[in-house]
Amino acid sequence: MPADSTLTTPLTGWHAAHGGRMVDFSGWRMPVQYTSILEEHRATREAVGLFDISHMGRLAIAGPDAAALVDRLVTRRVADLVAGRIRYGLVCNEAGGVLDDVLVYGAPGPAAVWGDHAALGVVVNAGNRAKLVAWFADHRAGFDVRIDDRTLATAMIAVQGPGAVALIDTLAGGAASELKNYRGAAADFDGHAVYISRTGYTGEDGVEILCAADDAVPIWKRLVADGAVPVGLGARDTLRLEAAMPLYGHELSETINPFEAGLGFGVTPAGDRDFIGRDALAAARAAPARTRIGLTLDGRRVAREGTPVLSDGRPAGVVTSGTFSPTLGRPIALALIDPAAAGGTLSLDVRGTALPAKACPLPFYRRTN
Amino acid sequence: MNPDTFRFTETHEWVHLSDDTPPVATVGLSAFALEALTDLVHLELPEIGQTFDAGENACEVESVKAVSEVYAPVAGEVTEVNDALLDQLETMTDLPQEDVWLFRLQTDGEGPSGLMDGAAYKKRCADEAH
């Protein structure tokens, strides 16, 4: 039984009633899979996958100093983020370690999702919601802002795959194909007031829908009825790893800086803008102590998080995420290693056996549609 | 092998003992284990001639999500392994449990201890589900 404090999304009951194998994930009761991870992964790569991502934290920042506050705390400039634009960035501490990776949304609506007059929206990882809410609160002194945690009043559903945009268009009056990548807008979805963004965490085209909590079940059921395949956290991980997208706690943490994680694009070069971690990041950009590398293995044994990486037989780093790639048909891994070791003969120490590995350009998978 | 004579471990293996003296133990995965396993990508069977103590890790079943260890329920030397399963990983979990034998151990007569019969194991699984 889940701990009493475990949170449920508006869809938790649906998952449990429809074959979802439920686990406690970052304090939320979530489905790992419904049928099979491989089947759900393939459905997303080939058709349309449907994901309950309501566990992610959704914050609305309002007031005259909203942009100034967020600009101070995120590594990308957001003060110029106009309505409809979305930017990926990192929240860092003074040492340049990553507290979370986030999406920032310009002037999002409707009010049913974001509250009244939201100047910016910030979506954070489920496991970091309390930490980020406290971080924002600790740094708001002197800023005229309202910070509204919208998480429990709302839900979030991702629809991803080659058929996703067409499916959403039929239910939202063409709203999905009107959005360019990393753009979002309020829309009417099958009679519900929602926010739709052209974003995702799978490497496929698609959208993420934010809605009021009460609208989640009818929206979800409608998408299932129209052919979207429910996908659990197991396939969510294999999909994002094939796309070489970072997962907080693995590729990112308070002791890993954005450059080591391969996310230099998420840090605006230091100009006249000040943000927390700026100076530490400027130094790190010039000389990262570690580097991210992609690896593939022969055979079928998976090298998972924590697996030591050897270069010419000597310790060179560690695997941050590893799985079996359904698309490549072989094990893949992301690792953090000593930059000087990247050119050596690489192997992975899996339960005492040194398995040969090859460096692989990232991402492992790139969509062609 | 008659599945009614199977005995079960806490870790969801079944054991069948032959009539020989000392008996040959056949070790496989229970229906409960097969139901829980999906997305198998690898099976690491032991090698013929390897010896194990009771409770030692003998074999690994790897799925996309995790590696599951299979333990030798009784001490012995590996005499046979079920190589045929290596070509059947995608359908293995649909097989009846008596078809999913993994390896055979020649025991030295020291029988397994702490095993459950079918009824006790069924009950234990039902309890675990709650």
User: Do the Cβ atoms of A33 and B38 come within 8 Å?
Assistant: yes
The radius of gyration computed from the CA coordinates of chain A, to the nearest angstrom, equals 20
Contacts of residue A38 in chain B, CB cutoff 8 Å? 39, 64
Q: How far apart are CA A152 and CA A157, in angstroms?
A: 14
Give the gyration radius of chain B's Cα atoms: 14
Residue A33 touches partner B, C-beta closer than 8 Å? yes
> Is beta strand B13-17 parallel, antiparallel or unpaired with respect to B7-8?
antiparallel
Residue A42 forms contact with B (CB below 8 Å): no
Residues 6+ apart with CB under 8 A from A206: A48, A158, A159, A160, A161, A164, A165, A198, A200
Under 8 Å between Cβ of A43 and A164 = no
Contact by Cβ (8 Å): A357, A296: yes
Find residue A148's DSSP bridge partners. A60
Nearest to B41 among A1, A234, A324 (CB): A324
Instruction: State CA B75 to chain mean position distance.
Output: 13
Cβ neighbours of A87 (radius 10 Å): 19
* CA gap A190, A241 in Å, rounded: 32
Give the pLDDT confidence score for residue A369 in this predicted structure. Answer: 77
Tens of pLDDT, residue by residue over B64-113, are: 999 999 999 999 999 999 999 999 998 999 999 999 999 999 999 878 88
Contact status of A350 with chain B (Cβ, < 8 Å): no
Count CB pairs under 8 A between chains A and B: 37
Best mutation target, A348, A351, A355, to test chain B (most B CBs within 10 A): A351
Instruction: Give the one of A36, A38, A301 whose C-beta lies nearest to B42's C-beta.
Output: A301
Q: Where are the domains of chain B?
A: 3-128
Give B16-20 contacts, CB < 8 A, sequence gap 24+: B16/B101, B17/B107, B17/B111, B17/B112
Beta bridge partners of B28: B14, B101
pLDDT tens for each residue of chain A, 369 residues long: 556 689 999 999 999 999 999 999 999 999 999 999 999 999 999 999 999 999 999 999 999 999 999 999 999 999 889 999 999 999 999 999 999 999 999 999 999 999 999 999 999 999 999 999 999 999 999 999 999 999 999 999 999 999 999 999 999 999 999 999 999 999 999 999 999 999 999 999 999 999 999 999 999 999 999 999 999 999 999 999 999 999 999 999 999 999 999 999 999 876 778 999 999 999 999 888 999 999 999 999 999 999 999 999 999 999 999 999 999 999 999 999 999 999 999 999 999 999 999 999 999 999 997
Interface of B with A in 1-40 (CB under 8 A): 38-39
Cβ pair A234:B39 closer than 8 A: yes
The architecture of the domain spanning B3-128 is Beta Barrel (2.40)
